[in-house]
């Protein structure tokens, strides 16, 4: 399992930040997500389903991204329904002067003799992709990201 994390502090209250995060019609900032389209369930919240194209491991993978947890203004958890095991966990918390957003992306390519090697080889790219997601989100609020492994 590969895990990549990044965080960013934004000059806005958690409710405003979460509103941007939860707006899946404009979620081009999400890590590895190249295309996203609502295909079922509620527009927002648990059970919302989005057809997604994910750029991962040098390929474009398609699937259905499902919202598994939705707790405004603090957390949204998204999982890819089939294929590549992908989870994007987004948490928002209040800090002095605004909010901090933590983005945690985890994926696994499954079993097989080469799975571990593929995951190790893709770890750096995954970390860069999550950092890029925070940069994209920060651009909407005018702040830079802070990355951690």
- pLDDT tens, 1-48? 778 899 999 999 999 999 999 999 888 788 778 889 999 999 999 999
Write the pLDDT tens digit of every residue in 49-88. Answer: 999 887 665 667 788 999 999 999 999 999 988 767 889 9
Dihedral sign from CA coordinates of 111, 114, 118, 120? positive
Domain ranges (residues) in the chain: 2-31+67-148
What predicted TM-score, i.e. pTM, was given to this entire model?
0.83
Q: Which long-range contacts (CB under 8 A, 24 or more apart) does 31-37 make?
A: 31/4, 31/88, 31/103, 31/105, 31/126, 31/129, 31/130, 31/132, 31/133, 32/56, 32/86, 32/105, 32/126, 32/129, 33/65, 34/60, 36/65
CA neighbor of 22 nearest in space, from 137, 142, 138: 137
- Which CATH number describes the domain made up of 2-31+67-148? 3.30.530.20
Which pLDDT belongs to residue 142? 74
């Amino acid at each position: 399992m590969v895990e990549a994390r990044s965080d960013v502090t934004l000059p806005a209250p958690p409710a405003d930040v979460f509103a941007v995060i939860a707006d899946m019609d404009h979620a081009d900032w999400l890590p590895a997500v190249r295309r996203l389209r609502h295909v079922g369930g509620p527009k927002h919240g648990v059970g919302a389903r989005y057809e997604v194209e994910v750029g991962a491991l040098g390929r474009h993978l398609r699937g259905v991204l499902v919202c598994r947890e939705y707790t405004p203004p603090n957390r949204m958890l998204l999982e890819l329904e089939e294929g590549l095991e992908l989870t994007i966990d987004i948490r928002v918390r209040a800090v002095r002067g605004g909010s901090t957003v933590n983005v945690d992306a985890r994926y696994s390519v499954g079993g097989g003799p080469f799975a571990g090697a593929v995951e190790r080889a893709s770890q750096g790219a995954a970390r860069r992709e999550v950092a890029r997601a925070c940069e994209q989100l920060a651009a909407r609020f005018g702040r830079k990201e802070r990355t951690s492994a």
